[in-house]
């Protein structure tokens, strides 16, 4: 054994601290020399990596790649960090995660690349096996994770249904009932009690009830008085959160945890059981009801997606299995449950900072209400329930909501996989199997796309001669683009406009001072601490008082 006092010297005769430390561990001089060589090599590699920092704007560390920068970003604001990196790198960069994680990917915010991957080379950029296998337990073969024929068949049926008159009237009717007999009474009570409420939570409850009515034809009642906890809604949320955690866990690890039923995987299994029990019960009941009703009656009475998919048969006369019907419904609920509500939450938060925008929205809504003065006798007490045509005419409101989505898109990042080697229009080389992340949040903050005022909330940028003008889906990608453009886009706009106008016409919404508003890291752009607000009633004209009285009378009965 070597004595603890043994030291190795450098050529100048002095011993280094590392040498002292190693010799105190009892190593032979030759072993110490070898280790010194290794230390020197590591320092060299690290310095090289740091030199890369200057070249690429990001440190790439040995073994762990860019993980340290990512972890630092996670502690602050990840979306802003990605935006900063993309800005410095001209719109696209390669994220090098540690080899043992799933984090290697190309990140882009370049509209030319977006058009390429969402439209021009659509079939070369599917959702892919990695995404599908990660979400399979929750989403099964439903539209979100599906590719090719499985996706195409569902898209076709759903698209026909979304454009049918029956479906449109279901969306209008269900929203009217939810807003007037649930949302407004909840807000009225908060206003009377002068107590702050979490507006994001209230809106999430509204859209969850709404999308369940549309998907299942079943109302879970999350927005009932007292805002009850609904086991199905809770299980759905838990299952979604547990699925997201899989994306941040090395595949082998979450698979092992699933096998041994541990931690996050156990939570996922348990919540999925509730979701499945609920879904299969609704499917069983619906099939029974449909078999008891005659053909025409069925269609006339129901326009929900479950009925449409249950009645559908393919070219060989095969109907959807119960499992696939379950997957269809779960996917639609996921698509519509929180996207419009979080967009509305950010919109109300922005209005607090831009009162002049709120003023212009009110002017527009009031003008539309005044326009119907002439017909008031004819319309009677219905006057302050906004009609479909009136909602359509709210162009400034549409611009204000779109501008909120530009800055706070409900889906902040999205993902595809490359099937065959490919080159992006900006010259980025993509190898088969590469994951591509498109940073929708960052795209809204790129000077190169929106100009110097890209960070300002300015609905006017969407208006031309007072009319709302849309932008290319590859520049404004909040609703995705190409063949996988959001199927619920029109419905979502109607829903958001109807809800926003109904609230703003009656109440001034004030965000509680010093309430922290930051995004949460999730598939959807939630506010991490919700949105605490107080409400004050606006001075109303006679007509609105009549309608409110009627709404209250209806509720009492
Ligand atoms: C502000 C509200 C909404 C936003 C910002 C939004 C955004 C998006 C985005 C970004 C996608 C692409 C997702 C992906 O492929 O990974 C998408 C797809 C989809 N959305 Fe929406 N969505 C909204 C509301 C809704 C609603 C209310 C529904 C239905 C009730 C809906 C139904 C769908 C469906 C079915 C797809 C899948 C389309 C496909 O893959 O072919 N969305 N949406």
Query: What domains lie within the chain, and their CATH numbers?
Result: 1-56 (no CATH), 135-556 (1.10.630.10)
Q: Which is nearest to 442 in space by CA: 418, 480, 415, 475?
A: 475
Residues 334/240, Cβ–Cβ less than 8 Å: yes
CA distances from residue 149 to 152, 156, 334, 418 in whole angstroms, order as listed: 5, 10, 21, 18
* Residue with the larger pLDDT of the pair 39 and 189: 189
Which regions of 109-200 does DSSP assign to beta strands (E)?
A: 197-198
Determine whether the shortest distance from the Cβ of 494 to ligand 1 is under 6 A: no
Section 245-256 average pLDDT: 88
Residues 407/457, Cβ–Cβ less than 8 Å: yes
Q: Give the model's confidence band at 433: pLDDT under 50 very low, under 70 low, under 90 confident, else very high.
A: very high
Determine whether the shortest distance from the Cβ of 170 to ligand 1 is under 6 A: no
Determine whether the shortest distance from the Cβ of 414 to ligand 1 is under 6 A: yes
Determine whether the shortest distance from the Cβ of 402 to ligand 1 is under 6 A: no
pLDDT digit string, tens, across residues 467-526: 999 999 999 999 999 999 999 999 999 999 999 999 999 999 999 999 999 998 888 999
Determine whether the shortest distance from the Cβ of 145 to ligand 1 is under 6 A: no
pLDDT at 417 over 70: yes
Residues 201/195, Cβ–Cβ less than 8 Å: no
Q: Give the model's confidence band at 78: pLDDT under 50 very low, under 70 low, under 90 confident, else very high.
A: confident
Strand order in the sheet with 435-439: 92-95, 105-108, 435-439, 413-417
Determine whether the shortest distance from the Cβ of 304 to ligand 1 is under 6 A: no
C-alpha to C-alpha distance for 352 and 358, rounded to whole angstroms:
8
pLDDT digit string, tens, across residues 106-123: 999 999 999 999 999 999
* Sequence-separated (6 or more) residues with CB below 8 Å from residue 267: 238, 242
Residues 487/164, Cβ–Cβ less than 8 Å: no
Residue nearest to ligand 1 atom 2, measured at CA: 340
Lowest mean pLDDT of 135-139, 167-171, 377-381, 535-539, name the range: 377-381
Q: How far is the CA of 335 from the centre of ligand 1 (A)?
A: 5
Q: How far is the CA of 489 from the centre of ligand 1 (A)?
A: 7
Q: Up-side HSE of residue 423: CA atoms within 13 Å toward CB?
A: 3
248 backbone dihedrals φ, ψ, rounded to 5°: -100, 5
Question: Percent of the chain scored above 70 by pLDDT?
Answer: 79
Lowest mean pLDDT of 22-36, 319-333, 359-373, 381-395, name the range: 22-36
* Residue with the larger pLDDT of the pair 409 and 284: 409
Q: Give the model's confidence band at 450: pLDDT under 50 very low, under 70 low, under 90 confident, else very high.
A: very high
The mean pLDDT of the chain is: 85
User: Can you say whether residue 261 is alpha, beta or left, with left for phi > 0 and alpha for psi between -120 and 50 degrees?
Assistant: left
Q: Could you give the 3-state DSSP secondary structure of residue 329?
A: helix
pLDDT digit string, tens, across residues 138-178: 999 999 999 999 999 999 999 999 999 999 999 999 999 99
pLDDT at 555 over 70: no
Q: Which is nearest to 386 in space by CA: 287, 496, 293?
A: 496
DSSP class of residue 520 equals -
pLDDT score recorded for residue 26:
46
Q: Which is nearest to 115 in space by CA: 446, 439, 434, 425?
A: 425
pTM of the entire structure?
0.84
Residue of 119, 335, 416 to mutate, ligand 1, most atoms within 8 A of C-beta: 335
Determine whether the shortest distance from the Cβ of 58 to ligand 1 is under 6 A: no
Q: How far is the CA of 484 from the centre of ligand 1 (A)?
A: 9
pLDDT score recorded for residue 28:
56
Q: Give the model's confidence band at 403: pLDDT under 50 very low, under 70 low, under 90 confident, else very high.
A: very high
> Binding site residues for heme, as ranges?
486
Q: How far is the CA of 336 from the centre of ligand 1 (A)?
A: 7
Q: How far is the CA of 420 from the centre of ligand 1 (A)?
A: 26
Q: How far is the CA of 479 from the centre of ligand 1 (A)?
A: 6
Q: How far is the CA of 488 from the centre of ligand 1 (A)?
A: 6
Section 36-61 average pLDDT: 57
Ligand 1 atom at minimum distance from 411 CA: 10
Question: Percent of the chain scored above 90 by pLDDT?
Answer: 65
Section 284-289 average pLDDT: 87
Q: Give the model's confidence band at 24: pLDDT under 50 very low, under 70 low, under 90 confident, else very high.
A: very low
pLDDT at 103 over 90: no
pLDDT digit string, tens, across residues 203-232: 999 999 999 999 888 899 999 999 999 998
Q: What is the ipTM of this complex?
A: 0.98
Section 463-467 average pLDDT: 94
């Amino acid at each position: 054994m070597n004595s603890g006092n043994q030291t190795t010297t450098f050529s100048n005769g002095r011993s280094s601290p590392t040498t002292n430390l190693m010799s105190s561990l009892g190593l032979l001089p030759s072993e110490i020399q070898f280790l010194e060589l290794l230390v020197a090599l590591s320092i060299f590699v690290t310095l090289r990596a740091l030199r890369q920092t200057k070249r690429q704007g990001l440190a790439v560390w040995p073994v762990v790649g860019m993980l340290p920068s990512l972890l630092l970003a996670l502690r602050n604001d990840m979306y802003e960090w990605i935006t900063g990196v993309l800005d410095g790198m001209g719109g696209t960069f390669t994220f090098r995660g540690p080899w043992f994680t799933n984090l290697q990917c190309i990140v882009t915010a370049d509209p030319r690349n977006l058009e390429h991957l969402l439209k021009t080379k659509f079939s070369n950029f599917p959702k892919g096996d990695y995404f599908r296998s990660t979400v399979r337990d929750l989403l099964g073969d439903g539209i979100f994770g599906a590719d090719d024929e499985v996706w195409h068949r569902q898209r076709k049926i759903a698209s026909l249904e979304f454009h049918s008159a029956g479906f449109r009237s279901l969306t209008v009717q269900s929203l009217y009932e939810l807003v007037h007999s649930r949302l407004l009474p909840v807000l009225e009570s908060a206003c009377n009690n002068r107590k702050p409420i979490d507006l994001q939570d209230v809106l999430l409850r509204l859209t969850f009830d709404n999308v369940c009515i549309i998907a299942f034809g079943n109302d879970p009642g999350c927005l009932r008085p007292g805002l009850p906890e609904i086991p199905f809604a809770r299980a759905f949320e838990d299952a979604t959160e547990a699925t997201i955690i899989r994306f941040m866990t090395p595949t082998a690890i979450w698979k092992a945890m699933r096998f041994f039923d541990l931690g996050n995987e156990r939570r996922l299994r348990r919540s999925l059981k509730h979701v499945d029990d609920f879904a299969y019960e609704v499917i069983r009941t619906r099939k029974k009801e449909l078999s008891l009703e005659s053909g025409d009656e069925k269609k006339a009475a129901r326009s929900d997606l479950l009925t449409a998919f249950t009645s559908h048969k393919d070219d060989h006369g095969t109907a959807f299995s119960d499992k696939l019907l379950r997957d269809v419904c779960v996917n639609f609920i996921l698509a519509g449950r929180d996207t419009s509500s979080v967009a509305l939450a950010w919109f109300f938060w922005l209005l607090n900072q831009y009162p002049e925008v709120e003023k212009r929205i009110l002017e527009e809504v009031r003008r539309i209400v005044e326009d119907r003065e002439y017909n008031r006798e004819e319309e009677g007490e219905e006057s302050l329930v906004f009609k479909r045509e009136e909602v359509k005419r709210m162009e400034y409101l549409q611009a204000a909501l779109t501008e909120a989505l530009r800055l706070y898109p409900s889906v902040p990042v999205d993902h595809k996989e490359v099937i065959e080697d490919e080159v992006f229009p900006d010259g980025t080389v993509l190898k088969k199997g590469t994951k591509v992340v498109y940073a929708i949040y960052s795209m809204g903050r790129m000077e190169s796309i929106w100009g110097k005022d890209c960070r300002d909330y300015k609905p006017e940028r969407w208006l031309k001669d007072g009319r709302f003008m849309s932008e290319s889906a590859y520049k404004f990608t909040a609703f995705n683009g190409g063949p996988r453009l959001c199927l619920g886009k029109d419905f979502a706009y109607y829903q958001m406009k109807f809800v926003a106008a109904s609230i703003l016409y009656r109440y001034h919404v004030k965000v509680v001072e010093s309430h922290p508003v930051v995004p949460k890291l999730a598939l959807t752009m939630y506010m991490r601490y919700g949105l605490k607000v107080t409400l004050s009633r606006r001075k109303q004209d006679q007509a609105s008082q009549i309608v409110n009285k009627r709404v209250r009378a209806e509720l009492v009965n």
